[in-house]
């Protein structure tokens, strides 16, 4: 990442227990992992993550494919004739993920002939997001695409939008008390459980299924980051020779700085530690900083999200061994299409998710293109080519 971003997920409607989220993704207990041979990590990645989505939605919905958002040329023509408008209300805008989401939305809205009349950045402050939404509603948008900073504190603002007749599509997370098909069109997300599974297999592969590891999770009641953490842990526990020696959370807002401190203490307390998992790329940046300061190039790091800093580190063959990437540009285009279909009164799924993308040094340049829909920046290309 170019900037150290604050958390990019809002609290989901966490009515579904995390144990049910990961049913079947690893053993029920440590003893179960010993009684059967663990899967080969490389083969498991190929077999289990070939387009499959493991996450469920905020109300336990099974994920629908992005094909559910397919829109025909005749439908596009009908939407273009409506001269609709759209507003985008972000929780936080200072990161690659948000930028890619907005790029995807603006690209697809242009194809659909839908004018974007405003993009706001709440800087992760619920009260500011409420004010942002009110300001956007004054412009009378036909559509609003948003990710709530806080599902409780912002719910009344979204309900006001729904009462005004605005078609609501959410990123990752939904406001409390709102239901798909009744109060909003759909929510589009990455496969956060699948990203946790991906990073677990990548770390197990790099460690040759042996070693001591530490986990740095998000210390907040956020639905999607819980999915990552739980699915990573359940997957890595399939390997009896990989021992989790410490788990500690970071609450932010300085996620990189806090993860730096946690990782520094972790390697001091456990000098024989072999690997560290971080819940997304910004905490992983802090882990890398700590390991570099400690002179521990032998410790490998796995994470999620293809930010620039972790991508460059990976390309150099340094600390980051692998990660599970989201597809934020494609999430944005999918959100725009679902909103357009709703204008045509087409029934769409209430939860759509895009599969995880495993990324290692060998495919980091092509992965960047897949995630962001533009060529890798020169710093990443140079790192990949060893210059």
How far is 122 from 144, CA to CA, in rounded Å? 15
DSSP class of residue 56 equals B
How far is 323 from 358, CA to CA, in rounded Å? 6
**CATH class label, 66-190+328-354:** alpha beta
**Three-state secondary structure call for residue 38:** coil
74 has which bridge partners? none
Q: How many CA atoms lie within 13 A of 141 on its CB side?
A: 30
Q: Please report the pLDDT score of residue 35 as a whole number.
A: 57
Q: What kind of architecture, by CATH, is found in domain 27-53+192-326+358-384? A: 3-Layer(aba) Sandwich (3.40)
How far is 187 from 331, CA to CA, in rounded Å? 10
Which uninterrupted H or E stretch holds 364? helix 364-372
Q: Which one, of 232, 174, 110, 209, lies nearest residue 351 by Cα?
A: 174
Q: Please report the pLDDT score of residue 10 as a whole number.
A: 37
For each successive 10 residues of the chain (387 residues), what is the average pLDDT?
38 35 39 66 82 89 94 98 98 85 97 98 92 98 94 95 98 93 96 95 97 94 85 97 97 91 98 97 96 97 95 97 96 98 97 95 96 95 90
Cite the residue boundaries of each domain of the chain with CATH code 3.40.50.2300.
27-53+192-326+358-384, 66-190+328-354
Which two tokens mark 201? 């297999």
Say what the alpha-carbon torsion angle 282, 286, 289, 295 is, to the nearest 10 degrees.
-130
Which two tokens mark 153? 């504190």
The CB density around residue 77, as the number of other CB atoms within 10 Å, is 11
């Amino acid at each position: 990442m170019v900037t150290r971003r604050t958390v990019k997920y809002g609290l989901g409607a966490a009515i579904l227990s995390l144990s049910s989220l990961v049913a079947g993704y690893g053993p029920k207990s440590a003893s179960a992992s010993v009684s059967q041979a663990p899967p080969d990590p490389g083969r498991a990645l190929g077999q289990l993550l070939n387009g499959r989505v493991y996450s469920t939605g905020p109300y336990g919905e099974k994920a629908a494919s992005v094909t559910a958002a397919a829109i025909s040329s005749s439908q596009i023509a009908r939407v273009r004739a409506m001269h609709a408008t759209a507003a985008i209300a972000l929780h936080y805008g200072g990161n690659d993920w948000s930028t890619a989401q907005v790029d995807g939305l603006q690209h697809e809205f242009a194809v659909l002939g839908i004018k974007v009349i405003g993009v706001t950045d709440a800087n992760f402050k619920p009260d500011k997001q409420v004010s942002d939404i009110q300001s956007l509603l004054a412009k009378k948008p036909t559509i609003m695409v948003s990710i709530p900073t806080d599902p409780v504190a912002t719910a009344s603002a979204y309900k006001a939008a729904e009462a005004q007749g605005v078609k609501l599509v959410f990123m990752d997370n939904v406001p409390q008390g709102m239901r798909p098909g009744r109060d909003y069109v759909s929510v589009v997300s990455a496969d956060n459980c699948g990203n946790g599974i991906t990073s677990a297999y990548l770390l197990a592969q790099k460690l040759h299924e042996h070693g001591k590891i530490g986990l740095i999770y998000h210390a907040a009641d956020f639905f999607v980051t819980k999915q990552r953490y739980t699915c990573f842990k359940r997957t890595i526990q399939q390997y009896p020779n990989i021992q989790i020696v410490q788990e500690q959370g970071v609450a932010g807002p300085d996620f990189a700085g806090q993860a730096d401190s946690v990782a520094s203490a972790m390697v001091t307390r456990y000098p024989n530690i072999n690997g560290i998992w971080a819940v997304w790329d910004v905490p992983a940046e802090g882990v890398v900083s700590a390991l570099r300061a400690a002179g521990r190039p032998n410790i490998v790091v796995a994470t999620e999200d293809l930010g620039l800093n972790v991508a460059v580190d990976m390309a150099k063959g340094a600390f980051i061994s692998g990660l599970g990437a989201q597809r934020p540009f494609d999430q944005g285009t999918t959100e725009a299409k679902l909103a357009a279909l709703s204008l045509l009164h087409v029934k769409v799924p209430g939860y759509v998710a895009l599969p995880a993308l495993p990324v290692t040094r060998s495919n980091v340049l092509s992965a960047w293109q897949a995630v962001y829909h533009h060529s890798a920046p020169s710093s990443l290309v140079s790192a990949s080519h060893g210059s």
